Chain A
């Protein structure tokens, strides 16, 4: 196996009872790669991530996560090198304060207390949660609980980061925080696999998109190319990308900052017609 493959699924089948969910799924993710896992509700996206985390095991084929076959392993065996954000953070929160919650994983892994304290403080700061360090996670708004759960996934310094709907219900500022933090991990060599319906997040933060449909991977490629003809797969283009496409803007990418730059250029060169006024509807 190449050294930098962090997740490898080979010809994986999986069924819940008699209901097949995945068939013949093969996927490789390398260090430093950000992958969006897209598809409609019930397509098997979360199931795929559970196989990667050894919460479930394939009926056929193999899953190798951070150099270990998941056969016979449970999620606790991977906890030192894989961070996992549940779609419903309530499923993973067990402690009475945000600070204790973030320290839970390191304590389970037997880290020295000083190292746990330091890592917790760093991650609280990075996710702008220091002001709620002593608050009970359930006293936080649901969206902020998601940030706490993300902090728990990040604190051990994982080589593989699995995120299930990381931006659900987040406001603009928190979305930017999540984007910044996840991008930093990816740039630092962590592999990221993110289940998301948020194609804006996919374009801003991730490089590659994998689309699940009818138990199979039907697309796997550059995130922009996959989304450019994602209509047929029910994948909407985010507003700025759609606008760039429809205006034929000369943009380097569909990231909002690049589209804004291209739009600024368009407006500089064309100038406004002297008679231009905002329509009444504005």
Chain B
């Protein structure tokens, strides 16, 4: 069963004259990390907003077509979705509750509003802080956090819910290397436990090994869809989309200087694949 589906979905913002999503039909499967990859303006963020029911309900604009999330229309279900969706925006500083005095309270905020028993809130919040490696920030005010600390706090405030659907917009953009690894491990574990993870990112080098599936968007339409190791190795992703990993780009750049089968498509995507081919 497909748990998040788009059927002929188009979306246009009120201030715009073009459809930022243009007839999108997609199914997102549980147990997979699906990576949305596209140049700026391709529609990745909007697709997440529509899936969450935030667009057009909060953004304004016009939606055509059918969206289903866990068997319901995300536009109609309102607050019943709380606790089932973990949404991390590209602007974590705008996502804080604004009323929590500490990081721990911020993470406990949604569970408290859902009326969880205090013992459950306590153990879930402690676990979420541990998963993101921010136990040491528990008593700090969210206002005093650095950008990366803030991003981890926002992810923790979603991880606490153990949501069935993760909708993630550049969730690791401000994170240092260890934070990035930890966060991607968290999403991997969530997917393995049966969650639907949909992640929009430009971080091709990392996602090429983290994601199970990549959907390349361009001008509001999916243009490529498949395993990252295959999609990122081809020429089409350069011709019709955002480009690929730094290693695939290197192979292409070198291939323009010298004609060699070692530099032809399909290109190596990762450093490991590059070492296999060029050692």
Contact = CB atoms under 8 A, between A and B. Distances in A.
Q: Do these two chains interact?
A: yes
Nearest to A238: B246
A215 interface: no
A197 interface: yes
Given A171-B243, A256-B246, A264-B255, 14 more contacts: A45-B146, A164-B147, A168-B174, A171-B38, A171-B242, A197-B176, A234-B176, A239-B247, A239-B271, A256-B249, A260-B250, A272-B262, A276-B261, A278-B266
B242 A172 contact: yes
B26 interface: no
Interface in B81-112: 90-91, 93-94
Interface string B191-235: 000000000001001000000000000000000000001100100
Contacts of B13: 139
Interface stretch (A1-9, A62-70, A72-80, A240-248): A240-248
Interface stretch (A24-32, A53-61, A141-149, A150-158): A141-149
A169 interface: yes
Given A40-B176, A168-B173, A260-B254, A247 B147 contact: no
Given A88-B93, A171-B202, A247-B275, A142 B262 contact: no
Interface string A160-192: 000011001111111000000000000000000
A87 interface: yes
A267 B15 CA distance: 51
A247 B279 contact: yes
A120 interface: no
B92 to A, nearest CB: 8
A46 B274 CA distance: 36
Contact of A46 (B147, B242, B247, B258): B147
Contacts of B276: 279
Given A260-B257, A278-B266, A172 B274 contact: no
B268 to A, nearest CB: 8
A165 B150 CA distance: 14
B41 interface: yes
Contacts of A278: 266
Contacts of A164: 147
Q: Is the interface of B mostly helix, strand, loop or mixed?
A: helix
Given A142-B45, A174-B40, A260-B254, A282 B233 contact: yes
A16 B149 CA distance: 16
Nearest to A266: B278
5 contacts: A40-B176, A43-B146, A45-B146, A247-B279, A264-B263
Contact of A267 (B177, B246, B263): B263
A42 interface: yes
B148 interface: yes
A207 B202 CA distance: 25
Interface residues of A, number: 60
A281 B202 CA distance: 23
Contacts of A256: 246, 249-250, 253
Nearest to A91: B93
Interface residues of B, number: 60
B147 A267 contact: no
A152 B15 CA distance: 23
A239 B243 contact: no
Contacts of A87: 147, 174
B273 interface: yes
A240 B202 CA distance: 17
Contacts of A200: 246
A259 interface: yes
Given A141-B41, A168-B173, A90 B250 contact: no
A278 B277 CA distance: 8
A264 B202 contact: no
A278 B264 CA distance: 10
Interface in A218-240: 234-236, 238-240
A271 interface: yes
B260 interface: yes
A267 B176 contact: no
A282 to B, nearest CB: 4
Contact of A16 (B144, B251, B278): B144
B235 to A, nearest CB: 13
Nearest to B274: A243
A41 B179 contact: yes
B39 A139 contact: no
A137 to B, nearest CB: 12
A197 B177 CA distance: 8
B177 A142 contact: no
A168 B247 contact: no
B33 to A, nearest CB: 18
Contacts of A197: 148, 174-177
B245 to A, nearest CB: 7
B39 A173 contact: yes
A127 interface: no
B148 A261 contact: no
Contact of B245 (A239, A259, A266): A239
